[in-house]
Amino acid sequence: MAKHKDKAAARPAPTLQEQLPELRPGQSVELLKALHILTREGKLNQDTRRKLKQVNHLVQFIEPLLAEVLAERGDVSLADHGAGKSYLGFMLYDLFFKDKVVGRVSGVETRAELVEKSRALAAQLGFARMDFLATTVQEALTHPDLPARVDVVTALHACDTATDDAIAFGLAKQARHMVLVPCCQAEVAGVMRQHKAFSLSRTPLAELWRHPLHTREFGSQITNVLRCLQLEAHGYSVTVTELVGWEHSLKNELILARKMPTDRGGARERARERLGQVLEALNLRELSQRFAV
Ligand SMILES: C[S@@+](CC[C@H](N)C(=O)[O-])C[C@H]1O[C@@H](n2cnc3c(N)ncnc32)[C@H](O)[C@@H]1O
């Protein structure tokens, strides 16, 4: 018995990484506690374990984009729209920006109380190159505290048309990369419902308008199709994939857009034409401003 005890005593205490394999090397425990991802005792529960995995997963997509811009121009700026509690911005700062002397993360969020909390947390952690704007994505476009050029634009579940405003922001700020995980968008489905796509009304596809749930989901899909075409028409190469680990959410579509230096083979014009055709076919012409090219 005494032998067993000795053996247990001799075993080294598990490292933090062994206790919490979800943690990235060097990831700040203090930050994760402040974000209430880790409990005060440094533990994860089922929900926060999932959240940590999800955000870390997304961070892995964004880090190489930041590194690429930084290597090219010696600086890098990122704007996160509909930032909420700024999990994404804080974790990116912690894992990528913290050890560098340049680079800036700006969180855009309408809820002033969340912005205040984020400002206080950034000050507490000494994350000096983070700022938070209590404003809408739309207003952020002309906000004096944001630079004329923003390299990377992110919008993670930014509500309704905030993703579209984030795209407009990225286009105006000549973003090199946009990383978007859209939320539900009601605008397109609303217009579709109003006009019931006359051109389809005599085809079996009229079934899409029979059940409001189908119209809504179809509207959501078409919205993302239009967003991708809009980005392509502006010279971005677009990849659409699934955000692994978000299976619990229907909204797990990840749109990655990279600005291309040249227009190869008239891709921009083709996307522009196709966008017009989709708007026409679904009787969504009144949304041409929303998806402007
Ligand atoms: C579902 S939360 C997502 C928060 C965060 N991105 C995340 O994934 O944890 C959406 C956030 O977007 C904010 N929001 C909605 N519309 C906005 C707008 N037009 N401009 C700025 N923020 C907006 C909401 O207040 C909310 O905090």
**How far is ligand 1, taken at its centre, from the CA of residue 238, in Å?**
23
> Whose CA is closest to atom 24 on ligand 1?
82
> Whose CA is closest to atom 10 on ligand 1?
158
> From edge to edge, which strands make up the β-sheet containing 253-259?
130-134, 104-109, 77-81, 152-156, 177-181, 253-259, 236-242
pLDDT for residue 271: 97
pLDDT for residue 7: 58
- Tokens at residue 263, please? 């227009």
Least confident of 1-15, 101-115, 189-203, 279-293: 1-15
pLDDT for residue 258: 98
Please list every protein residue whose CB sits less than 6 Å from any atom of ligand 1: 82-84, 87, 108-111, 136-137, 156-159, 162, 165
Burial 244-262 (b: 16+ CB within 10 A, else e): ebbeeeeebbbbbbbbeee
Output the CA torsion sign for 96, 101, 104, 105.
Answer: positive
Locate the ligand 1 atom nearest the alpha carbon of residue 82 and give its number.
Answer: 12
Percentage above 90 pLDDT, the chain: 65
Residue 210 has pLDDT above 90, yes or no: no
Q: Band of the pLDDT at 187, cuts 50, 70, 90?
A: confident
**How far is ligand 1, taken at its centre, from the CA of residue 160, in Å?**
9
| 118 DSSP 8-state letter | H
pLDDT for residue 204: 84
pLDDT for residue 6: 60
54 close to 124: Cβ distance less than 8 angstroms: no
Residue 151 has pLDDT above 90, yes or no: yes
Locate the ligand 1 atom nearest the alpha carbon of residue 162 and give its number.
Answer: 19
pLDDT for residue 186: 85
Q: Hey, which of 109, 153, 185 would you mutate to test ligand 1's pocket, going by the most ligand atoms within 8 Å of its Cβ? A: 109
86 close to 116: Cβ distance less than 8 angstroms: no
Q: How far apart are the C-alpha atoms of 104 and 110, rounded to whole Å?
A: 20
Q: How far apart are the C-alpha atoms of 25 and 48, rounded to whole Å?
A: 18
> Whose CA is closest to atom 4 on ligand 1?
84
**How far is ligand 1, taken at its centre, from the CA of residue 291, in Å?**
21
Higher-confidence position of 277 and 46: 277
pLDDT for residue 53: 87
Least confident of 23-27, 60-64, 146-150: 23-27
Residue 251 has pLDDT above 80, yes or no: no
Q: How far apart are the C-alpha atoms of 201 and 189, rounded to whole Å?
A: 16
Least confident of 6-15, 136-145, 185-194: 6-15
Tell me the per-residue pLDDT of 8-33, one tens digit each, with 9 for 90 and over. 567 787 777 777 888 888 899 999 99
Residue type, 182: P
Q: How far apart are the C-alpha atoms of 81 and 83, rounded to whole Å?
A: 5
**How far is ligand 1, taken at its centre, from the CA of residue 184, in Å?**
12
246 close to 164: Cβ distance less than 8 angstroms: no
Tell me the per-residue pLDDT of 98-115, one tens digit each, with 9 for 90 and over. 999 999 999 999 999 999
pLDDT for residue 115: 98
> Whose CA is closest to atom 13 on ligand 1?
82
pLDDT for residue 120: 97
Q: Hey, which of 111, 154, 159, 249 would you mutate to test ligand 1's pocket, going by the most ligand atoms within 8 Å of its Cβ? A: 159
